[in-house]
């Protein structure tokens, strides 16, 4: 009986440890979205994703009930004009590093909003990682011009805008 109990305890510990390795140590900091302007049918969420799982990972998709469609996007310069595009293959999150999802760069795009994103409201988003699996976070809707603490010190001097004024 003692041997069975020892084996059972070891098996449970192994499964618990393996589960932690699969779930990983992905930490999402300061998730936020900008309040919708007027009748806008699109919105975006931004955040900092820290990866301490021991291996590189990739944010491959996101799920939420706030819109008809959700894509991972970035901004690219094409012919002197900044354009938004879906990220093929997902957003890389290197081990031991923090990936910034911020205005003008990577972000979670909500298309076909069911209702405007109202300042002060909060909605859940499930991030899907290639290795760490799913992680549900609460995204707070902030007012115009909001930049969280970790993003306030970004250098925007290198951004170039096309003749049309960019974005």
| Within-domain flag for 161 | no
Longest dimension (CA), the chain: 78
Tokens of 110: 């909500």
**More reliable by pLDDT, 144 or 44:** 44
Question: Distance between CA atoms of 45 and 139, rounded to whole angstroms?
Answer: 7
| Within-domain flag for 163 | no
For residue 21, is pLDDT > 50?
no
Q: Please count the structural domains in the chain.
A: 1
- Within 8 A by CB and 6+ apart from 12, the residues are none
Tell me how long the chain is: 167
DSSP β-ladder status, 26-34 and 81-86: unpaired
| Within-domain flag for 117 | yes
**CATH number of the domain to which 41 belongs:** 2.60.40.1890
Phi/psi at 165 (5° precision):
95, 10
Tell me the per-residue pLDDT of 60-114, one tens digit each, with 9 for 90 and over: 999 999 999 999 999 887 888 888 899 999 999 999 999 999 998 999 999 999 9
Class of residue 139 by CB neighbours under 10 A (exposed 0-12, middle 13-18, buried 19+): buried
| Whole-number pLDDT of residue 28 | 97
Q: 144-151: list long-range contacts, CB under 8 Å, 24+ apart.
A: 144/34, 144/35, 144/37, 146/32, 146/34, 147/103, 148/30, 148/32, 148/46, 148/48, 149/30, 150/29, 150/30, 150/48, 150/100, 151/30, 151/46, 151/48, 151/100, 151/102
| Within-domain flag for 137 | yes
**More reliable by pLDDT, 3 or 85:** 85
Q: What is the rounded average pLDDT for all residues in the chain? A: 80
Lowest pLDDT segment from 13-17, 43-47, 126-130 = 13-17
| Whole-number pLDDT of residue 6 | 43
**More reliable by pLDDT, 25 or 113:** 113
Among residues 50, 85, 56, which one has the least CA distance to residue 71?
A: 85
Average pLDDT over residues 40-65: 96
| Within-domain flag for 6 | no
| Whole-number pLDDT of residue 146 | 73
Residue pair 135/127 in contact by the 8 Å Cβ criterion? yes
| Within-domain flag for 1 | no
| Whole-number pLDDT of residue 24 | 55
**More reliable by pLDDT, 51 or 6:** 51
| Within-domain flag for 157 | no
Tell me the per-residue pLDDT of 134-164, one tens digit each, with 9 for 90 and over: 999 999 999 877 776 655 544 444 433 333 3
DSSP-assigned beta bridge partners for residue 82 = 77
Question: Distance between CA atoms of 11 and 156, rounded to whole angstroms?
Answer: 52
Domain residues for the domain of 132 are 26-150
| Whole-number pLDDT of residue 110 | 97
- Name the pLDDT band for 165 (thresholds 50, 70, 90): very low
| Within-domain flag for 116 | yes
């Amino acid at each position: 009986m003692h041997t069975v109990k020892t084996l059972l305890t070891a098996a449970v510990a192994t499964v618990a440890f393996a589960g932690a390795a699969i779930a990983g140590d992905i930490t999402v900091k300061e998730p936020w979205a900008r309040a919708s302007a007027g009748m806008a049918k699109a919105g975006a969420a931004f955040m900092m994703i820290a990866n301490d799982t021991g291996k590189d990972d990739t944010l491959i998709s996101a799920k939420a009930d706030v819109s008809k469609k959700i894509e991972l996007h970035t901004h690219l310069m094409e012919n002197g004009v900044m354009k938004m595009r879906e990220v093929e293959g997902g957003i890389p999150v290197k081990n031991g590093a923090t990936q910034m999802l911020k205005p003008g760069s990577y972000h979670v795009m909500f298309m076909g909003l069911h209702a405007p994103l109202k300042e002060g409201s909060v909605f859940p988003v499930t991030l899907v990682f290639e290795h760490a699996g799913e992680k549900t976070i609460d995204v707070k809707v902030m007012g115009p011009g909001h930049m969280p603490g970790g993003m306030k010190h970004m250098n925007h001097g290198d951004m170039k805008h096309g003749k049309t004024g960019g974005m």
